[in-house]
Amino acid sequence: MIHVFKEYCALLFFKGALLHDAKKVLIQQTKNVQAARQMRFTNSKEIVEMAASIKAYIYEAIEVEKAGITVPLKETAAFEMPEEFQQALDNDPKLLKAFKALTPGRQRGYLLFFAAPKQANTKLARVEKYRQQIMEGKGVND
């Protein structure tokens, strides 16, 4: 997949964490991205210069896919549980049941979203704002 941003464009490898990155050109977008990796370019000259390497990475990604190899992902329980959200779950059994009914990906999304702010008040405000959405079985971005 090709990503276009203001400062660069990127070739995204969905299972990039499994690729042998001999050239050390694959970038993990954020610390929370487990599988995908990007190969970034700031101008077309870089793409031309790296054409052979780009092809090699693409061919390797195809072989990984054909082999059916998957990236071992962290379990939801391994993600930080913000204290403010834990308190809300402890005080509301219906919220706890609704949260546990969410898919693991939606659970991780909420955990990351609720843990992101530095201030406890902001975390608490997010928990309260998204309480109904959790109860409806929706994810953060639904």
CA dihedral 112, 118, 122, 123 (to 10 degrees): 40
Determine the Cα–Cα distance for residues 134 and 107; give it in Å rounded to an integer. Answer: 9
Given a cut of 90, whether residue 34 has pLDDT beyond it is no
Asked if 20 and 57 touch (Cβ cutoff 8 Å), the reply is no
Can you give the residue range of the structural domain that contains 58? 2-67
Question: pLDDT tens digits for 92-116?
Answer: 999 999 999 999 889 999 999 999 9
Within this chain, do residues 84 and 127 fall inside the same structural domain, yes or no?
A: yes
Region of 9 please: left (phi>0), alpha (psi -120 to 50) or beta: beta
Q: 106 and 80 in one domain? A: yes
The helix (run of H) or strand (run of E) holding residue 44 is helix 44-49
User: Quick check: 129 pLDDT over 90?
Assistant: yes
Nearest C-alpha neighbor of 79 from the set 123, 121, 35, 110: 110
Report yes or no on 8 lying in a domain: yes
The model's pLDDT over 68-87, given as tens digits with 9 standing for 90+, comes to 999 988 888 888 899 999 99
Residue with tokens 């071992």: 72
- In this structure, are 40 and 95 located in the same domain? no
Does any domain span residue 86? yes
Cα–Cα distance measured from residue 10 to residue 1, given in angstroms and rounded to the nearest whole number: 8
Rounded distance between C-alpha atoms, residue 78 and residue 17, angstroms: 19
80, 128: one domain:
yes
Q: Residue 100: its pLDDT value, please?
A: 95
Tell me if 17 is assigned to some domain.
yes
Question: Cβ distance 18 to 71 under 8 Å?
Answer: yes
Q: Is residue 141 part of a domain?
A: no
* pTM of this prediction exceeds 0.75: no
Q: Are residues 48 and 83 in the same domain?
A: no
Which of 67, 94, 109 terminates a domain? The answer is 67
Total structural domains within the chain: 2
What CA–CA distance (Å, rounded) separates 99 from 89? Answer: 8
In a domain, 142, yes or no: no
User: Is the confidence at residue 28, as pLDDT, over 90?
Assistant: yes
Whether pLDDT at 11 is above 90:
yes
